[in-house]
A and B are shown apart, each in its own frame.
Chain A
Amino acid sequence: MAHCERASKPLLQCLQRTCTKGLPSLQVQSARTFQTTALAREEAQTEAKTQSFYKSPDPSLVSSPRLERRMLRQGISPIGSRRRRAALQDSANIPFEQLPYQCFQEARKVLLGDREEKLKQISTMSEKISRLEAVPTEEAGGEQAKKSKLRAMELHLDHLKILADSNDPLVKKKFEDGQGDMSKPIYRFLADRKWREYRRKILVQRITQMNVVPDVLPHCEPVVDTKLYFGRNAIQLGEFVNASASAMVPKLDIQLFDRDEKLVTIAVVDPDVPNVEKDGFDYKMHYLAVNVPISATSTKVDLSKLSTESQEILPWLPPVAQKGSPYHRLSLFILEQKDSKPLDFAAVKAKETDRDNTLLRTLQARYHLKPIGAHLFRTKWDETTEEVMRQIGFPEADMELRRKRVEPLPYKRRNPSTFR
C-alpha cells in the first residue's frame, strides 16, 4: 500500500461505508451517516467490471507507480496528485455540497457568504468604472488623471475577481487537474503563483549564475513562463543539448499571465563564439523573429512555423561548438515590443542581416524592446557535432582549439642580502 493510500484511509473508510452506492444510498442512509459498519461494500464488489482496471487504468484514478509509469509510456499523464487519485479510487465521486460533514458544510457556507460579498463589490466596481468612462475628460481632471484612475480601478477589479474565486474548492481542483481556463483571472493568478514559487526562481538563478544577464542583456525580470522543446524533449534550463538534437528548430511554450495579448520579439543569442585573433569571444544571433503574438490562452510558438514574410528575420542556425572551445550558452530571450505595436518587418529585415555582430543590447535600444522571458541551454563538442558542422557548412570544422601556453614569470631573487 502506498503512503498516500494509507494517509487517505481514515477519510475513505467513512466515505466507503456511507456512499458506496452513490447518491441514492446517501439519501437512504442519511440517518446512519457515521456508522462504522460496512453496509453495501460487498454489494458493490459483486458488480462485475467489464474490464480489469490493470488492463486499462483510468488516468484520474491510477495510484500505483508501476501503472503510472505504464500510462506515461503510452503517452497519457495521470491527473492530479497521487494522493488525490488514491482518495478518488475508493470514493464515490460525491459533489462537495452533498458531503456528509457538518463542519465542512458550515465552513462552506462562510466561504459562500464571502464570495457573495465579493461579487457585490465587483458589480459596484464595474459600475463605477463605466460611470467614470462616461464622464468627459475635462470634468475628470485631465487625460492623465482619468487614465491612471481607470487603470487603478481595473486593477482593483481584477484583484476582487481573484478574491471572489480564490476560496472555491472546485477552482482549486480544476487548477490542480490542469483544466484551468487561463482566460479567467483566478487561474492566471494561481498559475503565476505556482510559477513564481519554483520555476521562476530556477530561471533567475541560472541566468545570473551563468552570467547570461550581464553578458547578453543588462537586465531581465522574467514575467512569462517559457519552456523550450526540441522535438518532444523539454529542455531543462542550462542543459547540455546534443548538436544533432539542437539542429532541428525548437518549439516554445510561452505562458503569459496577463490578460492582454502581446507582440513579442524572440531572439536566440550565443555570447560564446571563440575568436582566436581577438583572444576573446564574439556574439552570434542564432534566431530572430519579430511580431510574434502571445496571449494567456495561446501559448505554443513553433519557431519553424513562423511566417517568413512577416515574422522570421533570421532563420534557425543550428548551434555548434568547436572542439576544445568552452561551452556555448545559447540564451533565448522573449522581448516585449513597445505598446504591443508591430514592428515594420521589411525595415527590420533589411537592417538586421548580419548574424555575427548584432548585439541584443543594440536591438533592444533600437526597437524599444523589454525582456519579459528567457530560456537557456548549452552546447559543447560531442560526437554528432562534426556531422552538423558539415551540414551547415561551418568554416572551421577541421580546426580544434588548444590551450595556449602561458609564459612563466622570470625568476627574480628579491634582496638576497636579507635572506642570510
Chain B
Amino acid sequence: MLQPRLLAPLRVLERALVPVFRSSQQPLSSPSIFFPRTLSAPTTTSLLNKRFPSLSQVRYASHASQGTANRHSRDPAGKRLGAKRAGGEYVVPGCIIFRQRGTKWFAGENCAMGRDHTIYAAEAGYVRYYLDPEQHSDRKYIGIVFEKEGKLPAPRNAPSRRRLNRVAVPRAPVVPETDAAQSDLVANLEDGTMVSSVEAVNADTGAQLRPGYMYREANWQIGRAGDKAGITAIPYNRNNRWLAWRKRQARADRAAQMKSLKNKKKASKKAKGGR
C-alpha cells in the first residue's frame, strides 16, 4: 500500500507528466477526466509502475523484518549493580553497601560516596535506608547508625552522634632527621653482607656497588656535585625582561627551525612521490 505522505510528491510528478500524456493519448482530451480530484491511489500507482518500476517498492517496519536472530548476543553483561547490604545489616568502614550508576541513592550519615557513586560505610554500624525530607525533598539516603535499634533521619537540631574511633597511646618523641637518613637506595649493611655474589660496602664513602651492579656515587651525592664545585646559578629575577626576551626569542627561533626542517622533509617526500 502506498502511504498518503508519498502522494504529494507523486502529484507533482503527475503534473509534470500531464503534457506527455496529452501528446501521447489524443482521445482523452481533458486532463480533469484523466486526473480527477478524487484520484484513487491504485490506478495512479499502477500507471506509474509501468513507467517507474522502482517507486512503489517501499518496505515498512510493520512488516516482518529480517535479522536480529542473535539480538541477545549484543546485550552487555550485567554489571552486578544494586544493594550489597540490606537495611539493618552490620557493616565495617569501607564495606560496600550499594553499587549504582549515577546517584540513585545518596550517602547519608556515616556513609560516603565513591568515585563511581558507590555508597560505602565510613563507620561500623547498622545500615539504614531512609528519606530525609528536611534535607532534600526527593533524595533517598543510605546511612549508618551505631545501635541496632537506631533511627534515621536524626532530628534536625539534635547534636550529631559521632564516634572517636581512637585509642590513647604514649606519644612517641619526634626524632630529628639525620644526614644518614638522606642516603638513598643503599642500606647500612654490616660487613660481609653479599648482594648476589658481590660484597656490599658501607654507604658513606665514595663509589660503591649500587643497584644495577654499578660502582658509582649515591644519587644524592651526584646531585650535590654542583655545590661541591662551587657553581652557583644566577637567581631568577622576574623583572629582568631582557633575559626573558632573549630566552623567548631563542625558543621561538628553535621552534621556527624545527618547523622549517619538518616542512623540508615533507616537501622532499612530495617531490619524490611526484617523480
Chain A CB count within 10 A is highest, among B93, B165, B170, for B165
Is B157 an interface residue, CB under 8 A from the partner?
yes
CB–CB B157/A218 < 8 A: yes
A209 to chain B, nearest CB (A): 12
Chain A CB count within 10 A is highest, among B93, B160, B164, B172, for B164
B139 to chain A, nearest CB (A): 18
Q: Which of B124, B156, B160, B170 contacts A406 (CB 8 A)?
A: B124
Q: Which residue of B lies closest to A396 (CB)?
A: B168
Please give, as numbers and ranges, the residues of chain B lying within 8 Å of A325 by CB-CB distance.
166
Is A319 an interface residue, CB under 8 A from the partner?
no
CB–CB B160/A274 < 8 A: no
CB–CB B166/A404 < 8 A: yes
CB–CB A406/B93 < 8 A: yes
How many Å lie between the Cα of A214 and that of B167 in the bound state? Answer: 26
Please give, as numbers and ranges, the residues of chain B lying within 8 Å of A218 by CB-CB distance.
157-158
Is B222 an interface residue, CB under 8 A from the partner?
no
Contact with A along B195-229 (1 / 0, CB 8 A): 00000000000000000000000000000000000
CB–CB B165/A279 < 8 A: yes
Q: Which of B90, B160, B166, B172 contacts A401 (CB 8 A)?
A: B166
CB–CB B163/A400 < 8 A: no
How many Å lie between the Cα of A215 and that of B154 in the bound state? Answer: 12
CB–CB B159/A404 < 8 A: no
Contact with B along A197-220 (1 / 0, CB 8 A): 000000000000001011110110
Q: Among residues 138 to 166 in chain B, which have CB atoms less than 8 Å away from a CB atom of chain A? A: 156-160, 162-166
CB–CB A399/B166 < 8 A: no
Please give, as numbers and ranges, the residues of chain A lying within 8 Å of B124 by CB-CB distance.
406
Q: Which of B163, B171, B172 contacts A280 (CB 8 A)?
A: B163
Please give, as numbers and ranges, the residues of chain A lying within 8 Å of B55 by CB-CB distance.
none
CB–CB B157/A214 < 8 A: yes
Q: Which of A211, A280, A404, A409 contacts B167 (CB 8 A)?
A: A404
- Given A399-B170, A400-B170: A214 in contact with B160 (beta carbons within 8 A): yes
How many Å lie between the Cα of A327 and that of B166 in the bound state? Answer: 13
A319 to chain B, nearest CB (A): 18
Q: Among residues 124 to 155 in chain A, which have CB atoms less than 8 Å away from a CB atom of chain B? A: none
Chain A CB count within 10 A is highest, among B95, B166, B172, for B166
Residue pairs across A and B with CB atoms within 8 Å: the count is 70
Q: Among residues 292 to 328 in chain A, which have CB atoms less than 8 Å away from a CB atom of chain B? A: 323-325
Please give, as numbers and ranges, the residues of chain B lying within 8 Å of A213 by CB-CB distance.
157
How many Å lie between the Cα of A153 and that of B172 in the bound state? Answer: 69
How many Å lie between the Cα of A325 and that of B165 in the bound state? Answer: 10
Interface residue SS majority, chain B: loop
Please give, as numbers and ranges, the residues of chain A lying within 8 Å of B168 by CB-CB distance.
276, 396, 399-402
- Given A214-B156, A215-B159: A409 in contact with B91 (beta carbons within 8 A): yes
Is B252 an interface residue, CB under 8 A from the partner?
no
Please give, as numbers and ranges, the residues of chain B lying within 8 Å of A211 by CB-CB distance.
160
Is B13 an interface residue, CB under 8 A from the partner?
no
Q: Which residue of A lies closest to B89 (CB)?
A: A409
Please give, as numbers and ranges, the residues of chain B lying within 8 Å of A396 by CB-CB distance.
168
Please give, as numbers and ranges, the residues of chain B lying within 8 Å of A274 by CB-CB distance.
164, 166
CB–CB B163/A406 < 8 A: no
CB–CB B157/A402 < 8 A: no
How many Å lie between the Cα of A279 and that of B95 in the bound state? Answer: 21
- Given A214-B157, A406-B92: A275 in contact with B170 (beta carbons within 8 A): no
Please give, as numbers and ranges, the residues of chain B lying within 8 Å of A10 by CB-CB distance.
none
Is B180 an interface residue, CB under 8 A from the partner?
no
Is B169 an interface residue, CB under 8 A from the partner?
yes
Is A394 an interface residue, CB under 8 A from the partner?
no
Q: Which residue of B lies closest to A218 (CB)?
A: B157
- Given A406-B93, A409-B90, A409-B95: A219 in contact with B157 (beta carbons within 8 A): yes
A-B contact pairs, 5 of them (CB 8 A): A324-B166, A402-B166, A402-B167, A403-B165, A407-B92
B residues contacting A by CB (< 8 A) are 90-93, 95, 124, 156-160, 162-172
Which 10 A-B pairs give the minimum distances between C-beta atoms?
A: A218-B157, A401-B166, A400-B171, A399-B168, A215-B159, A276-B168, A406-B92, A404-B165, A404-B167, A274-B164
